[in-house]
Structure 1
Amino acid sequence: MHVILHTGVHCTDEDRILKCLLRNHQEFSDRGVAVPGPGKYRDLLGQTFRAMETSGIAPDARDVVMEAILDNETADRMILSNAFFFGSRRQAVSGGQFYPSAPARVAQMQRLFAGDRLDLFMGIRNPASFLPEVLGKAGPQQLAEALDGEDPRSLRWSDCLKEMRATAPDLPLTIWCNEDTPLIWAEIIRRMAGLEPGRKITGGFDLLGEIMTAEGMAGFRAYLQKHPKLTEPQKRAAMVSFLDRFAIPEKFEQELDLPGWTQDLVADLTEIYDADMQRIRDIPGVQVILP
């Protein structure tokens, strides 16, 4: 079994990805790709991982989990999506690190699905917007524990990913920036499902439609109809061109509300994030989906 694990950064894109996967459920099923509903595995996997921390893993744990998740469905590939695979919002930043529990959880995943082929897909996000998202309601003590007295400028996604690779050097990681998701939405879904490049999927432009006016989307779809043989890079160039003219400005506005959060800090974090993406691209075993 090829098991695809998808997680992200506790934002609405994770739910959208799951909904898009489920919208394509029948077509994917016909191709041997199972997309179980989250009710079949999220609590089950959480309970299994907690049990593994104290009592190890039963010899038949994998088969029991698979039977419960697939519910008699036959598949060669299975996609499991959960924004909380590596912890809750409160655990997303702790001790001055992103997802410090991620390496241990990755090791558990490999133990549970030993014998299966395992891939991890993960969206990451600019710390300038991610930290206010997960720590915006935190009290002073939680903020102090999260950053461990460190300057937020010291946080690196590359550190988190290197730790996971060190724990699981054979686990392929596919990464993308949450900010790029509207442009690479269909590509993310295709890669998860193991589809060939350019394969049409239901809802491939859903996110683009949320940040572009109806007029712009109508023009973009008309453009695609007139140019049916566009390559993926050409389609993305067309998306950028139409967004330049028809983007909905308020969709790009974010509240960055944390004590001490200034525009200078946001600019610094954004510059550091851009540089960190280059380091991530250089980590062996990590693929980055770019727009």
Structure 2
Amino acid sequence: MQVVIHAGAHMTDEDRLINTLLANRDLLAEIGTDVPDPKTYRKLLRDVLNEVTESGITSETRDDVLGAINHDAGNDRLVLSNQAFFGTPKMAVGQGMFYPAAEMRIEAFRQIFANDGLELFLALRDPATHLPALFAKTPHDTMADFLNGVDPAQFRWSETIARFRRDFPDMPITIWCNEDTPLVWAQVLREMAGLDPHSSFKGEFALLEEIMTSAGMKRFETYLASHPGMTETQKRRVISAFLDKFVKDEEIEEELDLPGWTEELVEALSEAYDEDVYEIERIQGVNFIAP
């Protein structure tokens, strides 16, 4: 069985991806993909991951997890999603890196599903907005305390992904940028679920409905209906064009009211992020979904 671990990152899709997959459970069951309700496994897996890390695994652990989610033995793909798989927001940074405890959690998953194939799906986010969003979810009083005095420019996603690739060379890793999600949404969902690249599903444009005006959405749907058979690349160009004209600015603009988080710092972090993404695209064995 292939076990897909969608581990966030924190403050990216906010369960939109897994909720869309849940809306397609019957369709996905037909192709052997099991998408259990996160309520059935999130607390259980949190406890199990802690136990495995501290005291190891028992022979019943895998059966306990599959029993809790009522897994159908006939399904050969299992999708599990939780932005907290690698820890809480305050654990998302440490030692000058993102998710310093992630390797231990991945290794715990490998022990639980020792005879299965493990795949990792992870969205990245610009540190200029990601670090403030994480900080807001922690008990820390200042960003300096949260980062333990480390310069925010030191946090690079390429370092994180390179660690995963080095320590788990046989694990498929799929990465995309949260900022690109409106354009790559459908491909991310299809690859996560194991769907054919041309398969239709409910919610293919669900994210667009949140960030595009109703008038723009109607025009977009009309355009799609009058241009059947478009490729994914063509659809992305159309989506980009419609977003340029009909996006809800309030849905995509972020207020960064944080002491010391100047426009100059934000610009520098965002530029470094763009360069960092280029480095990630070059990491061998990483499936990077780009617009």
Q: Is TM more than 0.5 here?
A: yes
Q: TM-score, normalised by structure 1?
A: 0.95
Is contact 1:97–1:147 with CA below 8 Å preserved after alignment? no
Match of 1:242 in 2: 242
Residues in 1 aligned to 2:188 and 2:222: alpha-carbon distance in whole angstroms: 23
SS in structure 2 at match of 1:260: coil
Match of 2:158 in 1: 158
1:146 equivalenced with 2:164 (yes/no): no
Residues 111-164 of structure 1: CA deviation (Å, up to 9, x unaligned): 111110111101110001101101036566663353232211111001111112
Residues in 1 aligned to 2:36 and 2:9: alpha-carbon distance in whole angstroms: 21
Match of 1:68 in 2: 68
Match of 1:110 in 2: 110
Change (3 A) 1:259 1:75: same
**1:109 alignment partner AA:** F
* Structure 1 position 99, deviation (Å): 0.8
Residues in 2 aligned to 1:283 and 1:82: alpha-carbon distance in whole angstroms: 25
* Structure 1 position 173, deviation (Å): 0.7
Change (3 A) 1:210 1:119: same
Is contact 2:183–2:236 with CA below 8 Å preserved after alignment? yes
Report matched runs for 1:225-240 at 5 Å: 225-240=225-240
SS in structure 1 at match of 2:85: coil
Residues 90-128 of structure 1: CA deviation (Å, up to 9, x unaligned): 111122211111111111111111110111101110001
* Structure 1 position 15, deviation (Å): 1.1
Residues in 1 aligned to 2:107 and 2:255: alpha-carbon distance in whole angstroms: 36
* Structure 1 position 71, deviation (Å): 4.4
Question: Any stretches of 5+ residues in structure 1 without a counterpart?
Answer: none
Residues in 1 aligned to 2:144 and 2:133: alpha-carbon distance in whole angstroms: 16
SS in structure 2 at match of 1:118: strand
Pick which of 127-136 and 142-151 moved more.
142-151
Residues 14-38 of structure 1: CA deviation (Å, up to 9, x unaligned): 3111110110011111221110001
RMSD: 1.6
Pick which of 193-202 and 57-66 moved more.
57-66
Pick which of 5-14 and 126-135 moved more.
5-14
Residues in 1 aligned to 2:103 and 2:12: alpha-carbon distance in whole angstroms: 24
Question: Any stretches of 5+ residues in structure 2 without a counterpart?
Answer: none
Q: How many residues get paired?
A: 291
Change (3 A) 1:144 1:262: closer
Residues in 2 aligned to 1:175 and 1:161: alpha-carbon distance in whole angstroms: 9
Residues in 1 aligned to 2:281 and 2:73: alpha-carbon distance in whole angstroms: 36
Match of 1:31 in 2: 31
Report matched runs for 1:117-266 at 5 Å: 117-136=117-136, 138=138, 143-266=143-266
SS in structure 2 at match of 1:163: helix
Query: Percent of aligned positions with the same letter in both sequences?
Result: 46
Q: TM-score, normalised by structure 2?
A: 0.95
Match of 1:81 in 2: 81
SS in structure 1 at match of 2:16: helix
Pick which of 66-75 and 39-48 moved more.
66-75
Residues 56-83 of structure 1: CA deviation (Å, up to 9, x unaligned): 1112322222222234563111100101
SS in structure 2 at match of 1:271: helix
